[in-house]
Structure 1
Amino acid sequence: MSKSKIHYAWVILIAGILIAGAGQGVILNTFNAFVKPVTLDLGFSRAEFTLCSSISLIVGVLTLPYLGKLFQTSRLKLVVCACAIVASLVPLGYALCGSLWQFYALSAVLGLAVNGVGLTMIGSVITNWFNRKRGLVTGIAFAGSGLFGAVMLPIVTSLIEASGWRFGFTVIAATAAVLFVPSAFFMLRATPQEMGLAPYGDSAGQTGEPAAQNGMTRAQALRTPALWTCMVGLFLHTGVCIAINANCVAYLSDLGHSAQVTGLVASVVLIFLTIGKIGFGEVFDRLGDLKGALLMTVMVTAAPLLFLLARNTFFAFFSVALLGLAGGGGSVVASHIIASYFGRKNFASIFAIAMIPGQLGSAIGPVFAAWIFDLFDSYTVAWVLCGVFGAVSIALFILSALSARKMPKYD
């Protein structure tokens, strides 16, 4: 490949942005806009309808290890294309639903497909294609979910108000398909070897001779304390971030803030989450896994404690901005750590396992904070415990890094 030509890795980055934008951004991040209109129209309780998200998440967690194995085979593109078709059709199916069981059944189908076009797949492909700037590039690709979600959410809200929730789901399906077709079907390539290239930043790429992929097997990685301490740290980190994010509007409203302030705070979280994904990608590239993880976990420890002061508007915005940055870091830290500690030989398979705790944290965190509120009629205890969990995550990431440095070098 001539030095004057643009490396195909940059096309892969664009594909990753579009796939993250379609799957996570357009399909998943807009679901909350449908809760009120669907429940009012069909007579479901909000708890019954929001269970759709939990069903998708649980099915996704159960299938993620299997998908992780497929991501490291030549069938990756076929899997991604199949999942893209299914994920696009599910919102169209939602538009035709009239019964709760139909929503649940389609949500289970979405759970089977969503990780095939999700961050785990994108992180695996980015790691295959980039040696240099891998953290930054992963963050940029992941940021597609926040960017497309931020753009699509107000559009969908307006469409629902004007034409109804069924039309809104139809537009979601069409938009996702428009984004998936060029990215998943035409632009995506699982590895640079498919095109006779080496990863971007690999000197072998100038000759077309890809470097060997070294690393542990998944079975070997699962026997290391480094992986398990890292995963528990990811569970606590993600749980804290999502617990606050999901309950911040209710908490600020309880404190007496206006609807304008609470709505703006919710937008600030999303904006800083996007900034955090990109920014922490660069942080991990420059500072390494341990220093980057420490900065991220210190932020997530401070955010809930500062949130206790959120009666003051400045602290309300400052704490959620800090939380957004830390949450963005949590999106990219697993990709960087797994590649750094365990190599690339079985990266996709190990990475898929490492992403499970984050998904579980996303499911448990909001319920935990709400349960604490119901118990004490206040979020104060919840935010204090979140600060404690954040501090524990600091210790776990330190232990993970120290354990990794004592591991024998992989082949």
Structure 2
Amino acid sequence: MSRNRLHPAWVVAFVAFIALVGAAGFRATPSVLLHPLHEEFRWPLAEISAAVSVNLLLYGVTAPFAAALMDRFGIRRVVSAALVLVAAGSGLTVFMTASWQLILCWGVLVGLGTGSMALAFVATVTGRWFVHRRGLVTGVLTAGGAAGQLVFLPLLATVVADRGWRTAALIVAGAALVVVPLVGWLLREHPADLGLPAYGGTEVVPPAPPAGGAASRALGALAAAARTRPFWLLAAGFAICGATTNGLVGTHFIPAAHDHGMAETTAASLLALVGLFDIVGTIASGWLTDRVDSRVLLGSYYALRGLSLLVLPSLFAGATHPSMLVFIVFYGLDWVATVPPTVALCREHFGASGPIVFGWVFAAHQIGAAIAATAAGLVRDQLGTYTLAWYVAGGLAIGAAVLSLLIKRRSAAAPEFRPAPVLAGPWRLRPSE
């Protein structure tokens, strides 16, 4: 390949970024729609939050199976089908009349669709196509979700205020469908299919044939990873990460600000600023991950996040003020800066199975998010304020910093990680794998 010619890996990364932006739209809408749905249907906030929790849970649990499906059936097919599911789930909400239909459309369909394009998708793309700049590209692709929030959230808040929530749901459905032809046209599977090495590589490495079914591979990777301490430390920290981002701030920041007299469109704009600075923070984190110990990065991110959440309850007011803007900028920089070092640690400890194992770690992230989304709604319903939720989340984030620093470096003499059969022998913790 000519040195001056653009490596196809960058085209694949660009299309993956656009797909992630398209899927992010509906994930950005829960906090905008909570009050409109409550006012129209008179459903309790905890009941609506339960639908959000199903969405967040499936978004995470689907990820490891989606990574295995991408190995078996190809990235292009899985991502195209996922975008169609997002569009169907979002579009069908306009016909709902009962809360179980919200759970089916918003929770199940959109959860499965977005979960198939979750961060395990990012790990799969970067693992196949990049040797050099892997951390940086991981950061850029992860920022795709933040870009989707940035693009959609202020628009959706305005549309909800002017035209109603149904119009907003249809906009999200259309945005997801628009991305499907681009994915089918430009998203390639492996560099070896083009007779090329991955970007920064020196040899053309043919893809290994998938061993067994997608479910077997995903569960086998989990069975083996679950015997190691790094997996549980990463999963626990990432569960807290999900609780303190998507579950709490992503879902309940706008209602909490509204409780203090702030207009929902203003609060949505602040949350969109989180998305803007998230792009900067995640790309910077990817750059740092290529240069700094990932454990130190994770510990720093979680500790600073915890401190900021402990301060947040005192910052809410009826209008935007400088202290709140400082929080928004900081929280945006930290929002998913945790992803590149977490992906790197999964790759370090679990080798070629890193993307699938990361899918399970990400499932823990979404379990934490689902629990926090429902729990915060219950706190608000019972106490009339979110204050307790912010304080608990801050303490948990500081705990996640400690868990991250307990992860040991993988010894060069440690045996290569191999996914186990699903019904493998006794589960014993191995400290250095």
Tell me whether 1:320 sits opposite 2:319 in the alignment.
Answer: no
Check the 8 A contact 1:334/1:355 in 2, yes or no.
no
Evaluate the alpha carbon distance shift between residue 346 and residue 73 of structure 1 in structure 2; reply closer, same or farther with a 3 A threshold: farther
Evaluate the alpha carbon distance shift between residue 138 and residue 293 of structure 1 in structure 2; reply closer, same or farther with a 3 A threshold: same
Name 1:120's counterpart in structure 2: 120
Evaluate the alpha carbon distance shift between residue 77 and residue 239 of structure 1 in structure 2; reply closer, same or farther with a 3 A threshold: same
Q: CA deviation at 1:287?
A: 1.1
Q: CA deviation at 1:82?
A: 1.9
Name 1:361's counterpart in structure 2: 368
Check the 8 A contact 1:272/1:321 in 2, yes or no.
yes
Evaluate the alpha carbon distance shift between residue 170 and residue 217 of structure 1 in structure 2; reply closer, same or farther with a 3 A threshold: closer
Check the 8 A contact 1:95/1:166 in 2, yes or no.
yes
Q: CA deviation at 1:247?
A: 4.2
Give 2:338's match in structure 1, choosing from 317, 330, 341.
330
Helix, strand or coil at the partner of 1:233 = helix
Name whichever of 258-267 and 106-115 sits farther off: 258-267
Q: CA deviation at 1:15?
A: 1.0
Q: Take 1:77 and 1:121, find their aligned partners in 2: how far apart are those partners?
A: 11
Q: CA deviation at 1:178?
A: 0.8
Evaluate the alpha carbon distance shift between residue 394 and residue 101 of structure 1 in structure 2; reply closer, same or farther with a 3 A threshold: closer
Larger helix fraction of residues: 1
Give 2:397's match in structure 1, choosing from 386, 390, 397.
390
Name whichever of 349-358 and 247-256 sits farther off: 247-256
Name whichever of 376-385 and 1-10 sits farther off: 376-385
What TM-score, normalized by structure 2, do the two folds share?
Answer: 0.81
Check the 8 A contact 1:71/1:348 in 2, yes or no.
no
Q: Take 1:301 and 1:234, find their aligned partners in 2: how far apart are those partners?
A: 14
Evaluate the alpha carbon distance shift between residue 199 and residue 316 of structure 1 in structure 2; reply closer, same or farther with a 3 A threshold: same
Write the deviation string for residues 358-387 of structure 1: whole angstroms up to 9, x where unpaired: 111211224444555667766555444333
Name 2:186's counterpart in structure 1: 187
1:385 aligned partner, one-letter code? V
Name 2:62's counterpart in structure 1: 63
Q: Take 2:387 and 2:111, find their aligned partners in 1: how far apart are those partners?
A: 34
For structure 1, the residue ranges without an aligned partner over 5 or more in a row are none
Check the 8 A contact 1:12/1:126 in 2, yes or no.
no
Q: Take 2:37 and 2:261, find their aligned partners in 1: how far apart are those partners?
A: 29
Aligned counterparts, 1:99-248, within 5 A: 99-107=98-106, 108-182=108-182, 184-204=183-203, 208=204, 218-241=222-245, 242-248=247-253
Name whichever of 251-260 and 137-146 sits farther off: 251-260
Evaluate the alpha carbon distance shift between residue 177 and residue 398 of structure 1 in structure 2; reply closer, same or farther with a 3 A threshold: same
Check the 8 A contact 1:123/1:138 in 2, yes or no.
yes
Helix, strand or coil at the partner of 1:6 = coil
Question: What is the CA RMSD across the aligned residues, in angstroms?
Answer: 3.2
Q: Take 1:127 and 1:73, find their aligned partners in 2: how far apart are those partners?
A: 15
Evaluate the alpha carbon distance shift between residue 113 and residue 161 of structure 1 in structure 2; reply closer, same or farther with a 3 A threshold: same
Name whichever of 188-197 and 305-314 sits farther off: 305-314
Check the 8 A contact 1:72/1:346 in 2, yes or no.
no
Tell me whether 1:303 sits opposite 2:308 in the alignment.
Answer: yes
Name 1:92's counterpart in structure 2: 91
Q: Take 1:266 and 1:78, find their aligned partners in 2: how far apart are those partners?
A: 32
| Identity across matched positions, percent | 21
Q: CA deviation at 1:225?
A: 0.5
Evaluate the alpha carbon distance shift between residue 319 and residue 10 of structure 1 in structure 2; reply closer, same or farther with a 3 A threshold: same
Q: Take 2:231 and 2:374, find their aligned partners in 1: how far apart are those partners?
A: 26
1:268 aligned partner, one-letter code? L
Q: Take 2:64 and 2:243, find their aligned partners in 1: how far apart are those partners?
A: 21
Write the deviation string for residues 141-171 of structure 1: whole angstroms up to 9, x where unpaired: 1212222322223333444444443333222
Give 1:350's match in structure 2, choosing from 332, 357, 373.
357
Check the 8 A contact 1:19/1:118 in 2, yes or no.
no
Helix, strand or coil at the partner of 1:287 = coil
For structure 2, the residue ranges without an aligned partner over 5 or more in a row are 210-219, 418-433
Q: Take 2:322 and 2:177, find their aligned partners in 1: how far apart are those partners?
A: 41
Helix, strand or coil at the partner of 2:197 = coil
Check the 8 A contact 2:278/2:334 in 1, yes or no.
yes
Name whichever of 346-355 and 35-44 sits farther off: 35-44
Check the 8 A contact 1:68/1:353 in 2, yes or no.
no
Paired positions, count: 402
Name 1:341's counterpart in structure 2: 349
